[in-house]
Amino acid sequence: MDTLTPLICDLLEWLERTPRTHAEVIDGWRTSCPRLPVWEEATDKGYVSCRGRFVEVTSVGRSFLSRARDLTDTAARDQIAAS
């Protein structure tokens, strides 16, 4: 997992909780570092899209999030088993 993956997952999970406007997304991630690479990566890969005023997670984004969660769960189980 690269360094942006956990931040992209955070962004996608945050967007899934409730509809957000583009302004809310940018404002909410203003203090997150590195905000813009996360946003750019998520949009470039098609994980999010703007629908009218709102930003939403796409089906590609939901698939990515599911795979990332599975990898995280597997890594955590492996770490516990190695203890």
pLDDT tens for each residue of 5-29: 888 999 999 999 998 999 999 887 7
| Distance, CA of 23 to CA of 9 (rounded, Å) | 19
More confident call, 36 vs 45: 45
Q: What is the pLDDT of residues 43-78, one digit of tens each?
A: 999 999 999 999 999 999 999 999 998 876 555 455
When pLDDT is averaged across residues 34-47 and rounded to a whole number, the result is: 83
State residue 29's pLDDT score.
Answer: 74
pLDDT value at 35 more than 70: no
Say if CB 13 and CB 56 are below 8 A apart.
no
Closest CA to 37 of 16, 75, 6, 64: 6
Residue that wins the pLDDT comparison between 3 and 9: 9
Contacts 24+ apart (CB under 8 A), 61-70: 61/12, 62/12, 62/16, 64/8, 64/12, 65/9, 65/12, 65/13, 65/16, 68/1, 68/5, 68/8, 68/9, 69/9
Average pLDDT score, the chain: 82
